[in-house]
Amino acid sequence: MGDVREKRVEEIRARLAAATRGPWSAPTDDADALYGEGGAAYVGSLCAREEDESLIANAPADIAYLLERLERAEKVVANPLLRRALETFVKEEQFDLDEWNVSGDMRDKVSAGVAEAKALLEALREYDRG
pLDDT tens for each residue of the chain, 130 residues long: 467 888 988 999 998 888 777 676 666 665 555 556 665 555 555 555 677 777 777 888 899 999 999 988 888 878 888 878 877 777 765 556 666 677 788 878 877 877 888 888 888 888 777 7
The residues that bridge with 36 in the sheet, in sequence order, are: 39
pLDDT confidence of residue 63: 93
How far apart are alpha carbons 18 and 110 in whole angstroms? 48
pLDDT confidence of residue 1: 46
How far apart are alpha carbons 126 and 130 in whole angstroms? 7
How far apart are alpha carbons 3 and 63 in whole angstroms? 20
CB 36, CB 20: distance < 8 Å: yes
What's the residue count for the chain? 130
Strands 33-36 and 39-42: antiparallel
DSSP 20: P
DSSP 25: B
pLDDT confidence of residue 52: 72
Predicted TM-score (pTM) of the model is: 0.57
CB 16, CB 64: distance < 8 Å: yes
Please give the span between the terminal C-alpha atoms of the chain, in angstroms, as a whole number: 8
